[in-house]
A and B are shown apart, each in its own frame.
Chain A
Amino acid sequence: MRRIVLIAGLAFLYLPPAVVALYSFNASRLVTVWTGVSTQWYGELLNDPQIMRAAGLSLAIATAAATLATILGTAAGLALARFGRFRGRAALTGLIAAPLVMPEIITGLSLLLLFVAMQQLLGFPGRGIGTIVIAHATLGLAYVTVVVQARAAAQDRAIEEAAADLGAPPARVFWAVTLPMLRPAVVAGWLLAFVLSFDDLVVASFVAGPQSTTLPMVVFSAIRLGVSPKINALATLLMLATAVVIGIAVLLARRTAPGNSAGPTAAIR
């Protein structure tokens, strides 16, 4: 019974994308007729300048947004795990959790209105890559915070006290002990924030400028036109890439915390 439930559940989750991956190797242009194995769609994909440009842009944005989110989220995670019951703790917890569940359309629209107002008043930031990075960093911040907080809370405080006792001033305690011990969580948080940014359509659509078309936007407009073998190929590559990134994140979370059931799962718990 337990096995049947699990197999049915996993089949429900994984069969549809598996079909996409399978048909990405179909030689036929007709997506439902199987005529033979071919990698021609991957070739076409790699020679599509629009898709390649969008992919490059998305990678750059995701890298920048994940880095920013990691700096902010590590600070927030440390504060929540280590500073005890400071004033405004509940408010910070709420503020960090809210973007996790807030419908993207709300976050996107309200951020756009902010950027427009800022542009009017301050002259920056102009809509484009910068605004997408800021928006995605705000979303990713929550994920990094949760992962870092969980790890920092599980750490033995005595290790940092020992460093101070052995003569290390606070700055060295942080750089030589606290941060290296948090590293797996920080890296896992970065990877999660990266995936989140790389995958986002709605928020990016709101805050993007006319020149900044990200990969999900290209995919979205292509999907609206219907199913095509080229999009099958792109979808397969995207799934493969995220699977690899998540795999790395999980391995990192496991390596230093045996028995811990993986960073990504902590992130949406």
Chain B
Amino acid sequence: MSWRRRLTLALPYLWLAIFFVLPFALVAKISVAQVQVSVPPYTPLFDTQGHLQIDWANYKLLFSDTIYVKAYLGSLRIAALSTVIALLIGYPLAYAVARSPARWRSILLLLLVAPFFTSFLVRIYAWIGLLRPTGIINAAFLSLGLIDEPLKLINTEAAAIFGIVYAYLPFMVLPLYARLDKLDVTLLEAAADLGATPWRAFWSITVPWSLPGIAAGCLLVFIPALGEFVIPELLGGPDTLMIGKIMWAEFFSNRDWPLSAAATVLLLGLLVVPIMALQTIAARAEGRAEARA
């Protein structure tokens, strides 16, 4: 390999090693420290005599204090529910785009994906305006006489789930579309020719074919949803417990960096399997693309 190539490779490699991999090592290190009033606000890994100081107290706390356990379980539940709902909404959308006339497909896909690039906060903010007690939905229902007093739409777990589905729907639609778009339509024609109803052809051909897309889409929603902070904070209210909120509070309000670090390590632990699965799917897709080329 020439020196030019080495340099081209070394640049992003070094950058990611320093600014993406190394930080995780530090998180692990600080997660076994204790909080103290200093700059930075945690005990060093080695004390003044050079002895290693490892303290598992943060982890013990995370496993024993019900609020943390509840937050992790809450995150898992909310992320899982959001993923399923996003799939139920995203699949028909991706399917509809894939079955649209070719000249409409890319513009439709772009319309479905573009919101991802418009301000995340603005999109969540829009729902606050719709859902709050004096918001548009309640105002409309009240004026129509459907309800007598405002419904509690915001500051609920359902609102948080709804917000996550709304925010991450593009992540679901894209891989599904990418897969469905490559489905050979003659397979469905052959199935129909052999006597399969459209419904049976869908379940026995289209769905199995789209499984890699379903898996990729679900993981792309589930992984960021598990660590989500902004949506539960703004739409979920105080009763919605998610680990992202707890970490934010521990870090910014209580300034307990070591506990936040330990919480991060546990969250990463939950994410190892989904992230590995996602990378496997991506590698397989790349392998397929190479085999075709």
Contacts and interface: CB of A to CB of B under 8 A. Distances in A.
Looking at A95, A105, A117, A262, the one whose CB has the most chain B CB atoms below 10 A away is A105
A110 B23 contact: yes
Given A195-B117, A268-B174, A224 B126 contact: no
A106 B268 contact: yes
B261 interface: yes
B99 A250 contact: no
Given A9-B89, A135-B19, 11 more contacts: A10-B111, A17-B118, A19-B129, A23-B129, A101-B275, A103-B224, A105-B248, A113-B27, A199-B117, A243-B118, A265-B106
A137 B19 CA distance: 10
B209 interface: no
Contact of A83 (B5, B22, B119, B170): B5
A192 to B, nearest CB: 7
B87 to A, nearest CB: 13
A162 interface: no
A166 interface: no
Given A20-B122, A83-B1, A94 B96 contact: no
B202 interface: no
Interface string B260-282: 11001001100100010011001
28 contacts: A3-B96, A9-B89, A17-B123, A20-B129, A73-B12, A76-B12, A86-B9, A93-B282, A94-B279, A101-B219, A102-B275, A104-B229, A105-B247, A106-B264, A106-B267, A106-B268, A113-B261, A116-B40, A134-B19, A141-B15, A223-B121, A227-B129, A227-B135, A235-B126, A238-B119, A242-B119, A243-B114, A268-B113
Given A109-B260, A227-B129, A32 B12 contact: no
Contacts of A120: 40
Contact of A113 (B16, B17, B23, B89): B23
Interface in A201-258: 201-202, 205-206, 216, 219-220, 223-224, 226-227, 231-232, 235, 238-239, 242-243, 245-246, 250
B136 A32 contact: yes
Contacts of B27: 109-110, 113
Contact of B132 (A13, A73, A79, A227): A227
A6 B19 contact: no
Contacts of A138: 15-16, 19-20
A76 B10 CA distance: 9
Contacts of B267: 103, 106
B61 interface: no
B19 A265 contact: no
Given A109-B247, A170-B4, A246 B117 contact: yes
B257 interface: yes
A158 interface: no
Contacts, number: 259
A235 B169 contact: no
Interface string B1-31: 1101100110111011111111110110010
Contacts of B30: 113
Given A6-B96, A92-B13, A261 B227 contact: no
A265 B113 contact: yes
A265 B178 CA distance: 10
Interface in B139-190: 139, 166, 169-171, 174-175, 178
A36 to B, nearest CB: 18
A96 interface: yes
Looking at B126, B132, B286, the one whose CB has the most chain A CB atoms below 10 A away is B126
A5 B100 CA distance: 12
Instruction: Sort A-B residue pairs by CB-CB distance and give the 9 closest, nearest first.
Output: A103-B227, A110-B23, A16-B126, A76-B12, A261-B106, A114-B23, A235-B122, A5-B96, A9-B93
Interface of A: 2-3, 5-6, 9-10, 12-14, 16-17, 19-20, 23, 31-32, 71-73, 75-76, 78-79, 83, 86, 88, 90, 92-99, 101-107, 109-111, 113-114, 116-117, 120, 134-135, 137-138, 141, 145, 170, 192, 195, 199, 201-202, 205-206, 216, 219-220, 223-224, 226-227, 231-232, 235, 238-239, 242-243, 245-246, 250, 261-262, 264-265, 268-269
Contacts of B175: 269
B11 to A, nearest CB: 5
Contacts of A135: 19
Interface in B101-129: 105-106, 108-129
